[in-house]
Each structure stands twice: as C-alpha cells, then as structure tokens.
Structure 1
C-alpha cells in the first residue's frame, strides 16, 4: 500500500513510500526528527528519518502481540500504541502467503477468519527506544474492545475504538498530571 503526502501549498500529492503493509497510525517522535508508523497487519512499528525520507522505513518494534492502530506520545518520553485486537494465527499465515489470502477472501466470509480476536483490545506502553514496558488489556467482551485510539491527558489515558459507543479513561500512576498531549506536538496556544 502506498503512503502519500499532500502539500497544501502546491496542491500536489507525492508517494512517500510504497509497499507498506496497512500503514495506519502516525506519530512524530518527541525530538521531532522521526516519524513512527503503525503497520497494522505486519504487527510492527516502523520509523522514518524525517531528514531522509527517501531512505524508507526501518523497523522500530516488531512482533507485537496484536494489531497496532494508532500511536501517541506519553508524558514520560515514551509512546502509547493502541491494539485493535490480539494477533490471529490465521491472519499471520495469510500475510505470508498471498495466494492463500486471495482464496480465503473469495471463499470464506471475513467474520470467520479476518475478525478473530478483535474482541480483546489493548494498549502498549513503549519507551523511546522501542521496547515494550507495559501492556494493558481489556477482558474478552469487556466494556472496551477493538481499541483504535488513545491519548494521554492530565494524568489519564483516554481510550476509544471505531466499534465502541463509549470512551474509557484510566488513571495513570506516575504520569505528569498537567501534561497535555496536543501541547507536546504543537506547543501552548
């Protein structure tokens, strides 16, 4: 799948990188020098050097236990990663064998293979070096599932998902109580 960039000043669209596996959430690193990109079906986080985008991505974190959706900064210099669901061995196999994937999409209803384990959502906490330091999971059939977004704000972690009709909030022990996520990206108004 290509990753495109639109320049509003020129009105032109260009291809930044091609052949990515479901690029999804993006986050500029705390130092502003790199871009983190969730590769959902590859269960990995890619990192791009903003000063040399033509070099393409490197693997920042691989072998995730679920499907990463969005990434956001945390108050301690790390990052939060929303997981839409737990890994499914059938999807892992299908991602390695395109012909199998094509046959399955034509012959098997998606609810029988594609959506397995999407009833358990989670959030990973990773440090600035790309190491998982915490994992928060919802229970099967819990109040939040298929978590696709999260944002730390003033000591809490807010959680949501495209199939949820509610927003969850967790109080974070040790988080900076006056830290506001958007201000870390854009500065104070």
Structure 2
C-alpha cells in the first residue's frame, strides 16, 4: 500500500515538473538587466499625500483609465467596454457620450473639436463632436519595410498644434483582443521583454502613419513639450521616461540607450520606483506620471532568467511576478526634476495610472477602479 502511494506521489511530482518545464506558454522571453531598485528614497520618499483621495461615482462602469477636460468644459473619462463618459467636474449629469466597441485607453481633442482616441482594439479613432459623434478609424496599421503591419495595442495619444497626432503602440506581440484584455496583454509583453513597442505619428493632411521610435519595452503614456518640439514617452517595462524629438523617425530606443542618448532622443528619467503609465501635462510646467504598479523584487530577479519567466507563467495567475497595488503618482518638469510625489501605500485605489490637473483638483486615473478618484489641490500641497 505504501509502495503504491509513493509511486503515485512520484508520478505526480514528475508530471508537475514536466508541466512546469515543458508546457507551452505564449511568451519567448529574453534576458535583460534590470537596474537595481533604489526604493522609496530621495524625491520618492514614502508619504501619505494620496491617502485623502475622494471618489466620484461612475455608476456601474469601471476603469477610468484616461480623464480630460473637453472644449466644452466637461469632464470626459474613458472606461471599460469602449465607453467614454461625459460629466460635470463634480461628477453630476453623467452620460455615456460615445461607445467605440473596444477599449479606449487615451484621448485628446483636435482643433476641430473632435475627440481623438486610441482604442487598444481598434486603433486610432476620431469621434466627431455632438450631435453627430460619428466614429472614424484614422489608423489601424503602419507600413514597415514595404509591408503592412497592424497596430495591435494603441495606448496613449496627444495632438500637436500643427495637427499631427502622436500615439503609442504598446506591443507588436500581444494585442488585448487576442490576449485576455489590456492588463493581461501588458503583463505578457513586459515579462517577455522583447521590446516591440513603438511611438507613431499620424499626419491628417496625408493620412500617413510613420514610426517615430521603436524597440520600446511597452510604449505607454505620451505628452508634448511646451514648445511642441519634443515628446515625453513612458517606457513601462524599463522603468523610464524618454524625451524624443517630434522630428525623429525610425529611431531605435535600444541603440540610443546604449549610446547614452543623441540629438533625437534621450532618457529623461531612469530607474523609476514603479511601472510608469499615463503622462499628462498639468499646470505651471508640470508633467504628471502615474505608476500602474510598484517595482517588484521577483520581476527584477527574473530579468536575467528567461527560462524561469516561462516557468512563472505556468503557475496560477495569482502567483505571477506581478507586484501588489501601491498608489503613486509624480510630477516632473521638462528638465527631468521631480516636483511632486503623492503616495498611498495601502493601494486602496488600484492602478493609479495617471493624473489630470485642473485649477482646483487632481483627478486620479485607474485601469480597474470602480470610481474616479480626485484630490483637492491644497491637499497635494501644490
């Protein structure tokens, strides 16, 4: 009897080892060198400035991932299910303003009053102002080396004064429609670390889309400099923020990083304490960045171990090397100096992905929260 039990146990152990070592996973990870995490020190010293956050109801919706004030003075918020909500600044008179059928992760407004949105499923969209609210696809592919390449994960967008539209395609490997949604696809891309993200430029006058920068590890938030000559781009998987010339075309983030920067692009902020997400221009020269998650020792320790990252993905999802929630947003200036840091170590408001600043408030964006967070400016000591 004991012998049978031991044989069965041995069989189970061998089966488990075979599964952990051989079961197919969707990623082909590469080794990379994670910078040593300095932790919450210096400008990022632990604080509680975000813990007093108040909430605005968004009804039965979730995930106010991007928030902006429209030309009409109303507050617009992109939520799950491809919906864009419109409401007063205090959350009253809330309505569903548009439905794209995908998942809008970012938007801006152009000179015609159109809402220019990046939909992670559909690509770059233009939504006419009321009452028409017609939705048109501006770009869902880009020509690369003579062939058409789909835009798989449109993520963030900004409209320049000359009408050009700059946006990020976070991953050429994992599109949310095919890989379990935006968060699941982002985790796969960052764990794999093939760095297939890119920054794109769309010219409305020609209808042409070009590559500004490629080889980014999950290209995320984007913002323009005050003079319109530079882009700030969050590279989530490398814990850093770039400053890139709007005139750059087909430059490689990997090559420029290895060279220490050049006239077209340079790393503005490196070794950040979390995974940077949305970038939004604020007031008085501030540029806000949210951290979807804090750094995690498990993820950094596995950076140079591609095989073990495959093994990790064969475990139940709850055991993947994804850090717990930690509320954290920062503001920096165009010189790369940190000018504000707000934290909530409890992580009660999940994925603090960005900040929208008005004269009275800071609205806190989130990929999964069931409410929209906000903080009075005086509470943030700005």
Instruction: With the length of structure 2 as denominator, give the TM-score of the two structures.
Output: 0.42
Contact 1:2 1:15 in 2 (8 A): no
- Of structures 1 and 2, the larger Rg is shown by 2
In structure 1, the partner of 2:369 is: 164
Does residue 125 (structure 1) correspond to residue 321 (structure 2)? The answer is no
In structure 1, the partner of 2:360 is: 155
Q: What CA distance in whole angstroms lies between the structure 2 residues aligned with 1:85 and 1:2? A: 19
**In structure 1, the residue corresponding to 2:291 is in which secondary structure?**
strand
Give the 3 Å change call, closer, same or farther, for CA 131–108 of structure 1 in structure 2. Answer: farther
Contact 2:241 2:270 in 1 (8 A): yes
In structure 2, the partner of 1:47 is: 243
**In structure 2, the residue corresponding to 1:58 is in which secondary structure?**
strand
Q: Which stretch of the first structure deviates more once superposed, 12-21 or 62-71?
A: 12-21
In structure 1, the partner of 2:297 is: 89
Does residue 35 (structure 1) correspond to residue 236 (structure 2)? The answer is no
- Matching of residues 73-84 of structure 1 within 5 Å: 73-84=281-292
Q: How many residues align?
A: 172
Q: What CA distance in whole angstroms lies between the structure 1 residues aligned with 2:351 and 2:205? A: 37
Give the 3 Å change call, closer, same or farther, for CA 104–9 of structure 1 in structure 2. Answer: farther
In structure 1, the partner of 2:321 is: 114
In structure 1, the partner of 2:149 is: none
Instruction: With the length of structure 1 as denominator, give the TM-score of the two structures.
Output: 0.80
Residue segments in structure 2 that go unaligned for 5+ positions in a row: 1-195, 253-264
Q: What CA distance in whole angstroms lies between the structure 1 residues aligned with 2:206 and 2:305? A: 40
Contact 2:243 2:268 in 1 (8 A): yes
In structure 2, the partner of 1:69 is: 277
Contact 2:212 2:251 in 1 (8 A): no
Does residue 17 (structure 1) correspond to residue 227 (structure 2)? The answer is no
Give the 3 Å change call, closer, same or farther, for CA 47–100 of structure 1 in structure 2. Answer: farther
Q: What CA distance in whole angstroms lies between the structure 1 residues aligned with 2:297 and 2:271? A: 13
Offset of residue 83 of structure 1: 0.8
In structure 1, the partner of 2:19 is: none
In structure 2, the partner of 1:2 is: 197
Give the 3 Å change call, closer, same or farther, for CA 153–120 of structure 1 in structure 2. Answer: same
Compare relative contact order (CA 8 Å, sep 6+) and give the higher one, 1 or 2. Answer: 2
Q: What CA distance in whole angstroms lies between the structure 2 residues aligned with 1:96 and 1:42? A: 14
Residue segments in structure 1 that go unaligned for 5+ positions in a row: 176-189
Offset of residue 42 of structure 1: 1.0
Q: What CA distance in whole angstroms lies between the structure 1 residues aligned with 2:206 and 2:316? A: 43
Please list every run of at least 4 consecutive aligned residues from structure 1 whose deviation after the TM superposition is greater than 6 angstroms. none
Contact 1:124 1:132 in 2 (8 A): yes
Does residue 135 (structure 1) correspond to residue 330 (structure 2)? The answer is no
Offset of residue 20 of structure 1: 0.3
Q: Which stretch of the first structure deviates more once superposed, 4-13 or 70-79?
A: 4-13
Offset of residue 70 of structure 1: 0.5
1:133-167 CA distance string (max 9 Å, x none): 3211124242x121113100123110021110111
